[in-house]
Amino acid sequence: MSAAPARPSEAQLNEFRRRVRAHIAEHAPPFEAREGRRAPENAEQEAQLRKWFATLFDAGLIGADWPVEHGGRADHHPLHDRILSEEILRARAPRPVDQVNLAAHVLLHFGSDDQKAELLPPMRRSEHVWCQLFSEPDAGSDIAAVRSRAAKQPDGTWVINGQKTWITDGHWADMGLALIRTDPTSSRHQGLSVFAVPMSTPGVEVRPIRTINEAIEVNEVFLDGVTLPAGSLIGEVGQGWSIIMAGLDFERFGIGGNVILLELLIDDLVMVARNAILEGTPALEHDDIRQTVAELAAEVEVAKSFIDDHVERLIAGAEQPGDGSIAKLSFAEAYHRVSAYGAQLAATVCTVAADPSVEQAKQRLRECWLWSRAYTVSGGSSEIMRNILTKRRLLLPSG
């Protein structure tokens, strides 16, 4: 990615925020984003989402951190990304697809010139939505255990066989970033390579998985004799582990950067607690409920403070090992605890107000709770994050 210019002034940042808000007001799709239901539910929604994402690229609001020769902006600063994320979330507009950001990061750092020329422009036009073909039935967060294999043919092509699972957006993605074992004698982190896989390639079969909230967000993907050209290999053969780890560190901070979602959850929780009656009085007036809400609000502030601190270190070029894992872990765990308590409160107390905004808050808390465990697993489970931190941050031995 391009280097950041001088830090913008507060006036410049405020002007950028106004520009983002105006863009969202003019171009965002006419439906509210819902947790656990980020994928389009029909062809009309898909068209609206693709158009929305393309406008964000066209306006230089996403992809601005790319090198200028590939569409980035010379005046981009990391604080612009933070403001964009905040405003999209606060407007409850659909967020850009995380997997597209990760694929762009991988291509810009490890892709060949031909791959960048071929794959980056359709990404910016939102003609290519990407998914991650990492997890497998016996290799979830432990992606070093992948067993899908690619065999190089005499003509230079690759033939891939295997199964991937829990593939977010796989049912409407155009491209997949796949981690495949290219050395059949290898194990764990060795012998892995990364491929760009067009999802329309013969032999690719996608089977949607319906989640607990009756939505389709994740999928199984079967790779049966999928033949890819030599140019589909990203980076070098056997470089897959380092490529994917670099990408996942980028993604994990992106997940943690959604900390504004936690603030919105707290807002919903407080609204429900204020408008619910428990034993004849508002729930928020009960000492135990008020104490729990306050503790959860404090946890949200801790997560937000870490993100703020990390952004400043990133700007200064002083980021620490494991920062992405800390961001992902703190966000995912706080999200689960806040939404679980909110869903419990919404279900066990009587809401007396007929205000539709209160009912919307209750629905959002339920949907967030049903989706919350996905955050503690996707992009690396909380247990894996803790293992990473013990090694990278605390420098503890593996044994």
Confidence category of residue 349, pLDDT binned at 50, 70, 90: confident
Confidence category of residue 141, pLDDT binned at 50, 70, 90: low
Confidence category of residue 304, pLDDT binned at 50, 70, 90: confident
What's the pLDDT score for residue 320? 84
Pairing of strands 130-133, 175-181: parallel
pLDDT one-digit tens code per residue, 142-183:
778 899 999 999 999 999 999 999 999 999 999 999 999 999
What's the CATH code, domain 255-393? 1.20.140.10
pLDDT one-digit tens code per residue, 205-215:
999 999 888 89
Query: Could you say which of 35, 136, 251, 367 is catalytic?
Result: 251
pLDDT at 73 over 90: yes
Q: Give yes or no: 214 in active site.
A: no
Using DSSP's 3-state secondary structure scheme, residue 362 falls into helix
- Contacts with 178 (C-beta within 8 Å, 6 or more apart), sequence order: 133, 134, 148, 160, 164, 194, 195, 196, 197, 223
Fold of 130-239: Butyryl-CoA Dehydrogenase, subunit A; domain 2 (2.40.110)
Confidence category of residue 137, pLDDT binned at 50, 70, 90: very high
> What does the pLDDT average to over 281-301?
95
Residue, of 314 and 160, whose pLDDT is higher: 160
What's the pLDDT score for residue 138? 81
What's the pLDDT score for residue 330? 87
The C-alpha atoms of residue 320 and residue 311 are separated, in whole angstroms, by 11
- Domain positions in the chain are 10-96, 130-239, 255-393
The C-alpha atoms of residue 340 and residue 136 are separated, in whole angstroms, by 28
